[in-house]
Amino acid sequence: MRKLTALFVLIAGTVVLGQARSPVPAPPGLDVLAAQVILDRVGFSPGEIDGMAGANFRRAIDAFQRANNLAASGHLDPATVAALAPLGGQEPTLLPYAITEADVAGPFAPHIPRELMAQSALPRLDYRNPLEAIAERAHASPGLLKRLNPGASFTRAGEQIQLPNVASLPPALGVYAARIVVTKATSALTVEDDQGRTLFHAPVTSGSTHDPLPIGDWKVTSIHELPPFHYNPDLFWDASPKDSKTRLAPGPNNPVGVMWIDISKEHYGIHGTPEPAVVGHTQSHGCIRLTNWDVRRVAHWARPGMAVVFR
């Protein structure tokens, strides 16, 4: 395995709802939360589901419109509602969930310092608490779960809460995927078939003024679940002069999250993040950063030799 010395992906799996009672009906009409959940299920990820019509939501709507020959506005207009709403079928926006013993058992890492050198002293970079872990499995912001479940502690087994009814696997998984495309102008990654049709769309953070996206054609070389992160300050323009090369332990709060998709461009890869809320909103040190759940879905398609296009 090549060391992950990139300039900034735990497979949490399906949200298990075996202890669910009856489904919670969606609110009347197609509000932003319902639209985010449906988009997530049909493969146009809005990133972190938060019930707000932010930039990533507009990007997902725009990509859905283009893929369905609708006028691309990025807004939830009547024509888009008419096309999107039926895709939700009879599935509710929210499902009830009983917090399990496993959810609250950990291990957790409640105190993770921001400095990478300090993080390297930790034996694991796990979730900070049960709320963070449950929110990630639900593709949602912790703030949304708090709003949906006022008074919930998220620390007691048996506690009943509501979660967004999201998908864990790509909806078109059985379809042949020809390439992964990252587009700088739209801050988006798409998985495409050999006709250029979008199989999956997700927001990304890709590069900065100091470390721009390396435009060109590359290939997937390998895929690593729960990778350690080998920090090399020589590759970071903003590293402290006191920093030295070090290894950070695996975990969802590792700088590259829970999955690393290595590409033929040295020091670059497609990976997850410990900060899903900032995906698509901030700059990176050159690599392609997705939410942990979105990079898991990309990894289901990725294979060595697969084309990767940065444009």
CA 311 to chain centre: 21
CA 297 to chain centre: 9
**Cα–Cα distance for residue pair 120/124, rounded to 1 Å:** 9
**Cα–Cα distance for residue pair 5/269, rounded to 1 Å:** 10
Tokens of 146: 């708090």
Domains of the chain: which residue ranges? Answer: 179-310
pLDDT attached to residue 126: 97
- pTM metric for this prediction: 0.87
User: What residues form DSSP beta bridges with 72?
Assistant: none
pLDDT digits (tens, 9 = 90+) for 289-307: 999 999 999 999 999 999 9
| Mean pLDDT estimate for the chain | 87
**Cα–Cα distance for residue pair 106/273, rounded to 1 Å:** 19
Q: In the Cβ-directed half-sphere of 88, how many Cα atoms lie within 13 Å?
A: 26
The secondary structure of residue 44, as a DSSP letter, is B
pLDDT attached to residue 12: 27
Enumerate residues 6+ apart whose C-beta is below 8 A from 292. 9, 10, 12, 136, 252, 257, 258, 259, 272, 273, 276
pLDDT digits (tens, 9 = 90+) for 30-62: 899 999 999 999 999 999 999 999 999 999 999
Residue 278 has pLDDT above 80, yes or no: yes
Tokens of 54: 């932010």
**Cα–Cα distance for residue pair 119/142, rounded to 1 Å:** 23
Asked if 306 and 298 touch (Cβ cutoff 8 Å), the reply is no
**Cα–Cα distance for residue pair 143/49, rounded to 1 Å:** 10
Asked if 138 and 163 touch (Cβ cutoff 8 Å), the reply is yes
pLDDT digits (tens, 9 = 90+) for 94-139: 999 999 999 999 999 999 999 999 999 999 999 999 999 999 999 9
CATH topology (fold) of 179-310: L,D-transpeptidase catalytic domain-like (2.40.440)
